[in-house]
Amino acid sequence: MNELMLLSIEKSVAGRGSNVIPAPETAAYALPDAFRRKDAPVLPQLAETDVDRHYTALAQRTYGVNCGFYPLGSCTMKYNPAVNEAAAKLPGFTGAHPLAPAHAVQGCHAVMDELAAALCEIAGMDAFTLQPAAGAQGEFFGMLCVKKYHEARGESHRVKMLVPDSAHGTNPASAAIAGFTVVSVPSRADGLVDTQALQALLDDTVAGMMMTNPNTLGLFEKDILAISRMVHKAGGLMYYDGANLNAILGQARPGDMGFDVTHFNLHKTFSTPHGGGGPGSGPVGVKQSLVPYLPTVASLGQPEGLQLKAFSGNFAVLVRALAYLKTLGKESLGDVAAHAVLNANYLMKRLTDAGFTPAIAAPCMHEFVLTLASLKESHGVSALDVAKTLIDYGIHPPTMYFPLIVHEALMFEPTETETRETLDHVADVMIRVLAQAKQNPDAMHTAPHHAVIGRPDDVKAARTPVLHW
C-alpha cells in the first residue's frame, strides 16, 4: 500500500485489453482529412481487472470526510448527506440541456427559484445570483457590483477597499482584480477589528469593507453593527464573505448585521464537498440597491448583461443545496450552527486543558486557532511537524499557517457532523503528539512515516507541477 504506484500507462502491455465496446454497425463518419489524427493515440493497454484495481487503489489512497476526521479550518469539511447526491443525480436534472427552452425545464427553474428565495431568507438579502462557481468568483463579482454602484452615483473616486488583516487571501485578491486599492485594517490584541484604526481610515475615497463574521480566528466580530454604521456613514458598502456561514446558519443573518452584498460557499455549508471534490458554487446575494447590477443568464432569455459563468452556474451543486435545506427544514437549520460551535469549543477546551495554546483565549465560534510558537521555541517542533505527524494517526491535518497574523498557526474546524467520541479520539491523539514533541522532537521533523508521500517540496510542487506523463 505504501510503495509508489505505477501510472496506468507504465503498466501497459502492447496488445492487452478488453473488447467491451462493440464495433459500430453504421459506416464511420468520414471526417475531413484536416481533422484526422496522423498517429494513433498513446493509451494504456490493460486487462479490465487491472484497470479496476488501478482505480480502486487510487481511491483507497484518497483521504476524504468519509475516511476520517478532516478538521481543515475555514473549509467546513462536514459530512454531505448521500441523499442530496441522489437528488442531484435524478435523470431529469442530469439530462437537462442548458439551452433547452424554459417550458421544457420547469423543474430546473423551480429548483433555482426556490433556492434563491431560501438563500435570500437565510442571508437577509433581497436577491441572489446563482452563477458564480466559487467563493472567490463570488467575491470578485460582489466587488464589481460595489464598483458599479459607486459609478452610477458619480462616485468613481471611491477606490479604497478595506480588508481586515485576518482576512482570507482571496478577499484582497478579489478587490485588487476588480480595480480597488486594498487597505489593510489591523486587528486588536483580542483578534477583532480595531475600530479606532478603522475610523482613521474612513474618508470619501472608501468604496467598502470586506469582512467575514466570525472572522478567520473563529471569533464573532461583536462590533459588527458599529462597524457597518461607520462604513455606511463614510459612503461605503459592506461585503460579507460567507465562507464561515456554518457558524451562524439559521441563527444570525449578514443582512441584519449591515452587510449589503454577500457570497455563500455552497460547497462548504450546503452539502457539496469542498476541496478537490468537483465544481463548487458561490452564489451572491445583494440588497435592493445593488439588484440592477446582478448578472444575467442569456439562456434564460434575460437581456444582455454581465455574464460570469456559462448558463446558470454549477447546477448539480444547486440541487444538493436545496435538497439539504429541505431535509433540514427551517426549524432545524439553526442546529447546524449550534452543534458546529459546540463541537469547536469542546475540542478547543480539551486541547487547551492538555497544554496547547489557543491564539486567542476566548470562546470560539465554529473553529479555533492554536499557536505552536512556544513549542517551536522550546522543542523545535513546528505547526508543520505536528500537522504531518497527525497523518500517521489517520487524521487529516488542520489548516496550517493561517490566518497569517498568528505564528505557527493550526486552525481546527471540527464541524457539526462529528461525534463526541471522534472529538475525544482527536484530543487524545493530540495529547500523544504533544508528549512525542517533548520526548522525541527529531522524529517529528520527518513525519509522516506511514504515508505514501512524506514531505514533498511544497514550493516546487506548486510552482512546477508535473501533471502529465
Please report, as ranges, the residues that interact with ligand PLP according to CB under 6 A.
74-75, 134-136, 168, 170, 212, 216, 241, 243, 265, 280, 282
Report the residue number, 71 or 280, with the smaller CB distance to ligand PLP. Answer: 280
Give CA–CA dist 41/398, Å, rounded: 42
User: What does the alpha-carbon distance between residue 402 and residue 409 come to, in Å, rounded to a whole number?
Assistant: 6
As measured in angstroms, the least distance from the Cβ of 285 to ligand PLP is 15
Residue 247 or residue 427: which is nearer to ligand PLP going by CB? Answer: 247
The H or E element that residue 375 is part of is: helix 373-379
d(CA 224, CA 12): 60
Question: If we measure between CA atoms, which residue out of 76, 85, 39, 109 comes closest to residue 418?
Answer: 76
Cβ atoms 158, 150 nearer than 8 A: yes
For residues 158 and 206, the answer to whether their CB atoms sit within 8 Å is yes
Choice between 385 and 416, CB closer to ligand PLP: 416
In angstroms, what is the minimal distance from the CB of 29 to ligand PLP? Answer: 41
CB of 27 to ligand PLP, least distance (A): 48
Q: Of the two residues 108 and 134, which places its CB atom closer to ligand PLP in the complex?
A: 134
Q: Are 207 and 158 in contact (CB under 8 A)?
A: yes
Q: Position 67: which residue type?
A: C
Whose cell is 475615497? That residue is 205
CB of 262 to ligand PLP, least distance (A): 11
CB 326 within 8 A of CB 390: no
State the nearest-atom distance from the C-beta of 21 to ligand PLP, in Å.
Answer: 38
Least Å distance, CB 281 to ligand PLP, is: 8
Helix (H, G, I), strand (E, B) or coil at 185: strand
213 vs 436, beta carbon nearer ligand PLP: 213
CB of 116 to ligand PLP, least distance (A): 19
Going by their DSSP bridges, the two strands 284-286 and 261-264 should be labelled as: antiparallel
Only one residue has cell 475540542, namely 347
Q: Shortest distance, CB of residue 92 to ligand PLP, whole angstroms?
A: 28
SS3 state of residue 239 = strand
Three-state SS for 397?
Answer: coil
Residue 284 or 427: the one with the smaller Cβ distance to ligand PLP is 284
User: Per residue in 301-334, is it b (16+ CB within 10 Å) or e — as a string?
Assistant: eeeeeeebbeebbbbbbbbbbbbbbeebeeeebe
Q: Which residue is nearest to ligand PLP (CB)?
A: 135
Of 77 and 87, CB closest to ligand PLP:
77
Cβ proximity to ligand PLP: between 170 and 228 the closer is 170
Q: Identify which of residues 266 and 427 has a Cβ nearer to ligand PLP in the complex.
A: 266
Could you tell me what percentage of the chain is helix, strand and coil, using 3-state DSSP and rounding each to the nearest 5? 45, 10, 45
Least distance from ligand PLP to the Cβ atom of residue 139, Å: 7
> How far are the Cα atoms of 77, 309, 338, 361 from residue 332, in angstroms, in the given order?
20, 32, 10, 30
